[in-house]
């Protein structure tokens, strides 16, 4: 009996090893990205969540026009900036997010006909589109990190619809918007 067990043990070990190899045959790939830039800044928001409240379809009075009662302000700014390379260099924020088809300035990822429109508080009737670059600051002479550090923009967000008056879909609106730093 011992002879049979001692003969079978190497065979059993070989089968276990082959089984373990078959299970570990899958692959995984990691994609690592990065960008080399002339200077960097950290981007900050006054809030990470902005609740525009509850509104009825009858409050939507025109296509692509935010409901005044839904509009709320927030700030986005830059800090921890490196010294600009040259006088006249610029600190910008690039605005990106999913938008409604055919409406690059109505942000929404939920698929309804209602979304969020953004504008600079200083220009209330000029709406920001996906991919727009917003100027935050310009380097002075001589260029110094204080030219960029602590600079902010005040923006407004408001609910709007692609439908005619009263035709807004009922449902939740979710509009993740990314603000990323762009030098020059």
Instruction: Judge whether residue 5 has pLDDT over 50.
Output: no
Query: Is 92 within the bounds of a domain?
Result: yes
Question: What token pair was written down for 138?
Answer: 């310009």
CB 50, CB 72: distance < 8 Å: yes
pTM of the shown model: 0.80
Q: Taking 80 as the threshold, does the pLDDT of residue 33 lie above it?
A: yes
Residue 113 domain flag: yes
Q: Please give the tally of structural domains in the chain.
A: 1
Say if 151 falls within a structural domain. Answer: yes
Domain of residue 87 covers 42-51+72-158
Quick check: is 60 in a domain? no
CATH number, domain of 129, equals 2.60.40
CA distance linking residue 184 with residue 180, whole number of Å: 13
Residue 111 lies in a domain: yes
The answer as to whether 61 is a domain residue is no
pLDDT for the residue numbered 19: 54
167 belongs to a structural domain? no
């Amino acid at each position: 009996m011992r002879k049979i067990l001692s003969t079978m043990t190497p065979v059993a070990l070989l089968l276990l090893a082959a089984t373990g190899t078959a299970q570990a045959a899958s692959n995984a790939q990691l994609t690592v990205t990065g960008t080399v830039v002339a200077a960097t800044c950290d981007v900050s928001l006054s809030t990470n969540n902005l609740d525009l409240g509850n509104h009825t379809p009858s409050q939507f009075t025109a296509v692509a026009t935010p409901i005044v009662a839904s509009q709320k302000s927030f700030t986005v700014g830059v800090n921890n900036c490196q010294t600009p390379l040259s006088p006249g260099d610029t600190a910008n924020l690039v605005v990106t997010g999913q938008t409604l088809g055919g409406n690059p300035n109505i942000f929404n990822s939920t698929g309804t006909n209602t979304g969020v429109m953004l504008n600079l508080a200083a220009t209330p009737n000029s709406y920001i589109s996906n991919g727009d670059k917003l100027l935050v600051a310009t380097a002075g002479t001589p260029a110094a990190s204080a030219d960029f550090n602590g600079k902010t923009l005040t923006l407004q967000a408001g609910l709007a619809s692609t439908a005619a008056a009263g035709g807004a879909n009922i449902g939740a609106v979710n509009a993740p918007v990314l603000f990323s730093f762009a030098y020059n």
